[in-house]
Copies of this chain bind each other. A is one copy, B any other.
Amino acid sequence: MSHAPKAFSHLDATGGASMVDVGAKPDSHRTAVAEGRLTCSLKTIAQLRARALPKGDVLTVAQIAGIQAAKATSALIPLCHPLALTSVDVGFTVEADGIVVRATVRATGKTGVEMEALTAVSVAALTLYDMCKAVDQAMSIGGIRVVEKRKA
Min CB gap A138→B, angstroms: 8
Interface size class of A (residues with CB under 8 A): 35 or more
> How many of these chains are in the complex?
6
Specify which of B89, B109, B118 is in contact with A126 (CB 8 Å cutoff): B118
Min CB gap A1→B, angstroms: 17
Interface of A: prevailing SS:
mixed
Report A24-47 CB contacts with B as 1/0, cut-off 8 Å: 000001000000100000000001
In the bound assembly, the distance between CA atoms of A37 and B59 in angstroms comes to: 25
In the bound assembly, the distance between CA atoms of A11 and B53 in angstroms comes to: 12
Contact A22 B86 (CB under 8 A): yes
Specify which of B16, B29, B75 is in contact with A57 (CB 8 Å cutoff): B16
Q: Does A96 make an interface contact (CB < 8 A)?
A: no
Residue of A17, A108, A144 most packed against chain B (CB within 10 A): A17
